[in-house]
């Protein structure tokens, strides 16, 4: 539908329906103006976050892949015995 057709359809509705459409448009405008854009989310610098490096001194975290594998193996074998 083109803009002119949409406008014609809206104008053919009762006044109350036109008010509801106006309210809905205002709602959508507010919703999409306040939501952060993808560009903003990507632009944040994680190196300034406090959690970065919080486990750097842990010996068991030197090989994170092995750590995850061990944790999974422990919990999965524990679940099978229950």
Q: Where are the domains of the chain?
A: 3-81
CA atoms within 13 A on the CB side of 43: 5
CA atoms within 13 A on the CB side of 65: 0
Per-residue pLDDT band for 53 (boundaries 50, 70, 90) equals confident
What's the pTM? 0.41
The residue behind tokens 């919990």 is: 75
Backbone angles phi, psi at 68, to 5 degrees: -65, -45
The pLDDT of residue 13 is above 60 = yes
d(C-alpha 51, C-alpha 66), whole Å: 21
């Amino acid at each position: 539908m083109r803009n002119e057709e949409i406008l014609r359809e809206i104008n053919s509705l009762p006044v109350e329906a036109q008010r509801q459409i106006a309210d809905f448009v205002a709602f959508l405008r507010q919703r999409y103006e306040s939501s952060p854009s993808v560009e903003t989310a990507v632009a944040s610098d994680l190196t300034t976050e406090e959690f970065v490096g919080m486990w750097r001194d842990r010996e068991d975290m030197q090989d994170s892949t092995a750590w995850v594998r061990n944790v999974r193996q422990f919990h999965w074998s524990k679940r099978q015995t229950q």
